Amino acid sequence: MHDNPKYKPYRDGSIRELPEGVVARGSLALNPPAPFIQKGQAPATAASPAPAAADAGAGATAASTSVPIPAGEDGFPFKITKEIVERGQNRYNITCLPCHGQLGDGNGMIVMRGFRKASSYHQDRLVKAPTSYFYDVITNGFGAMSNYADQLSPEDRWKVIAYIRVLQTSQHANATDLTEVDRKKLDEAEHKEKTKEGSHSSGGHSN
């Protein structure tokens, strides 16, 4: 994505005139995006995205002043529901899964292609990171990761973060934290798996 084919205009633009209405991709930064305004807040002044940190181990850049980070439960601007998590999963599978993997452990498809492993959401640093950290990284990029401000709306960014929290919880959850219905489903799945393994181990050819 960093090195993709795109139109780049010459400096003076005298060699070829552009069709009416065409805007060079690299010139979009001249027109700052409309700020995301929370209900009851005054419009924020749009600012240019902060440059990504050079060191992948360094902290993320400061949150963009054009996107105020709301206060609330775990920093989310809305109550987390099943529908929100499902939308977050959908957006995650499209934009994040190729690098961060289905479990969020960083073993995405890019690793199979020889690229560097992405960060795992399950490392202690990211488990303890506030939601605003993830929002900033999605908005401004970090290290080798480019920003996804164009691909994900502000609302969808929060929903992706909600799904990331679900992934983090899933890898550290206890069976006692589940509802009775979910525990029953888990027991049934384990029983089927054991039955399947037993049938394979007892199989063979008789003489």
- Select the more confidently predicted residue: 125 or 8: 125
Q: Which residue in the block uniquely carries the two structure tokens 């439960």?
A: 73
CA distances from 178 to 3, 74, 127, 151, 184 (A): 45, 21, 20, 34, 9
**What is the mean predicted confidence (pLDDT) over 112-126?**
91
Pick one of 3.30.365.10, 3.30.930.10, 1.10.760.10, 3.90.850.10 as the CATH number of 61-193: 1.10.760.10
Taking only the tens place, the pLDDT of each residue in 146-198 is 999 999 999 999 999 999 999 998 887 777 777 888 888 888 888 888 887 77
As a whole number of angstroms, the distance between CA 159 and CA 135 comes to 10
Model-wide pTM > 0.85: no
Residues 126/145, Cβ–Cβ less than 8 Å: no
Candidate from 50-54, 111-115, 176-180 with smallest mean pLDDT: 50-54
Q: Which residue in the block uniquely carries the two structure tokens 């005054």?
A: 42
